[in-house]
Structure 1
């Protein structure tokens, strides 16, 4: 049996606003990611996707729950050695490539920052050669190393962000809305680049996005997040062929079709949690197959199965 590289178990991430109000951004979610796998985390804005990613990489301290990475618990206070290993073996690609790149630094220093911090080279020549190789891996010329971020397009800046993450040779990359700020044609280029790099390096990817069609293309398994709850999860084929939760159905129905004849007949379904009568806190995992489950009460599960 292959052991998962990441196990998230009953993760909660709350933010206390004042004495009377607390935002439950992530509310008791569990999933795992296996080596070489891409796990897609989808949902509307404010559903808790980015917060989940930031909690996993420990930009936030989890309110409760367990995060196991490479067999080690990283959810509580960590030693210096554990922090160093986490920073080496888990990297993040941020949503806005311009905001995440230092405008005062050249590309060679942006990409090599992780190498400099962790001293992962013997000489300056070795450092620079690693950076040049990484630039070429993401489809950029080594001549670009002496330029600044503002001299690049959005797609090129995102490639620089990918190179910065990959140069540390991580086991897991968290791609937080890494393509949402890009044009559609550039999105396809970046996603194809990530798939190619994954095939070459075997890195695992947590792909956070709200574009379901792109998530289907890149992901092996998908988790649907709503209001901090993982309402449905399964393989890409299972989620798209047999969606059970009303929220998943509403997301899938909103995907535009390239065929105008089909698009003309497409019906989109609306889902309102407040008027649906569904209470996520009362639901439990109901398995449709070994990999496909939905968060529901017994009555809701039977009703949704009959309605499909």
Structure 2
């Protein structure tokens, strides 16, 4: 994989928000990772860790404070020209967390999905526009009749399918799924994730899958990054993270996953982790390789201590 060229490369990304003259929130503080074509990179962490901020900075809903973001070899973190903006908006799309809030309640589904086509003039005639919408509706498991309905006439899972269709119709190379399943019932979550995996097989699309449900992240992701207080603490393949977690925060997250077996659940011990009392300073650590793609943010002393534990 390392011999291939990354589709997305994030280098030392920082996103700070100035609250007052004396106080600045460092929502993202020096995060680096890459995503390759056709793979899913899962970004996990507790609420407030900076996951959604990273997604919004990458797609330029926020202006990055510092760092570089390269997409298809192009630097998209600085000032962009008209053509660059157009290319970015077509080739990178986002699925938002709340499927109702992200859909215009006054527009029919056909117009919601075709909005990108309208903006970028990506159809030859109104019939061509309609057929493109129909094809994408079929791909996400909805029928042609749904095109002329309004968002309030759908269930939560169906609304999220509409959101996925709106992102897919532009034929993007990367989709940022920002907590795309957290507002859905568990059974519907599985349907939507399986749909995303099927679409990935057909189109070779890449996903940045932002979530806090580790079980679902394990199921869909090829590689995982663990985020806390705006710092990427550990990253590696799904197997590396789940079979050999090194950072104490990663271990505490994994220990909190409920087990479906009642007997095993009774014996499960959740590990506690408190950054304030841990003695760890994220700003002093460096990303250190553990072999393969597995890396952890640590000082040399911490790394030796954690790998012995």
Q: So what's the TM-score if we normalise by structure 1?
A: 0.99
Among candidates 48, 59, 66, match of residue 64 of structure 1: 66
1:9-49 deviation line (CA, Å, top 9, x unaligned): 00000000000000000000100000001000000000000
* Aligned ranges 1:96-115 → 2 under 5 Å: 96-115=98-117
> 1-side partners of 2:136 and 2:60: how far apart?
26
> 2-side partners of 1:222 and 1:56: how far apart?
17
Q: How many residues align?
A: 307
Among candidates 263, 266, 271, match of residue 264 of structure 1: 266
The aligned residue for residue 175 of structure 2 is 173
Q: So what's the TM-score if we normalise by structure 2?
A: 0.99
Offset at residue 270 of structure 1 (A)? 1.1
> 1-side partners of 2:292 and 2:102: how far apart?
39
1:69-89 deviation line (CA, Å, top 9, x unaligned): 011000000000000000000
> 1-side partners of 2:53 and 2:29: how far apart?
11
SS across alignment from 2:283: helix
The aligned residue for residue 217 of structure 2 is 215
The aligned residue for residue 247 of structure 1 is 249
* Aligned ranges 1:115-126 → 2 under 5 Å: 115-126=117-128
Offset at residue 99 of structure 1 (A)? 0.2
> 2-side partners of 1:173 and 1:82: how far apart?
17
SS across alignment from 1:281: coil
The aligned residue for residue 73 of structure 1 is 75
Q: Structure 1 stretches (4+) deviating beyond 3 angstroms?
A: none
Offset at residue 276 of structure 1 (A)? 0.3
> 1-side partners of 2:68 and 2:141: how far apart?
37
Structure 1 residues not aligned, in runs of 5+: none
1:121-145 deviation line (CA, Å, top 9, x unaligned): 0000000000001001000011000
The aligned residue for residue 28 of structure 1 is 30
> 2-side partners of 1:13 and 1:286: how far apart?
23
> 2-side partners of 1:179 and 1:40: how far apart?
13
Does residue 229 in structure 1 map to residue 207 in structure 2?
Answer: no
CA RMSD of aligned residues (A): 0.4
Among candidates 50, 53, 66, match of residue 51 of structure 1: 53
Does residue 197 in structure 1 map to residue 196 in structure 2?
Answer: no
Offset at residue 163 of structure 1 (A)? 0.2
Offset at residue 286 of structure 1 (A)? 1.5
> 1-side partners of 2:144 and 2:259: how far apart?
39
The aligned residue for residue 83 of structure 1 is 85
> 2-side partners of 1:105 and 1:237: how far apart?
43
Offset at residue 285 of structure 1 (A)? 1.2
SS across alignment from 2:181: coil
The aligned residue for residue 147 of structure 1 is 149
> 2-side partners of 1:304 and 1:287: how far apart?
13
Offset at residue 100 of structure 1 (A)? 0.1
> 1-side partners of 2:173 and 2:39: how far apart?
11
The aligned residue for residue 16 of structure 1 is 18
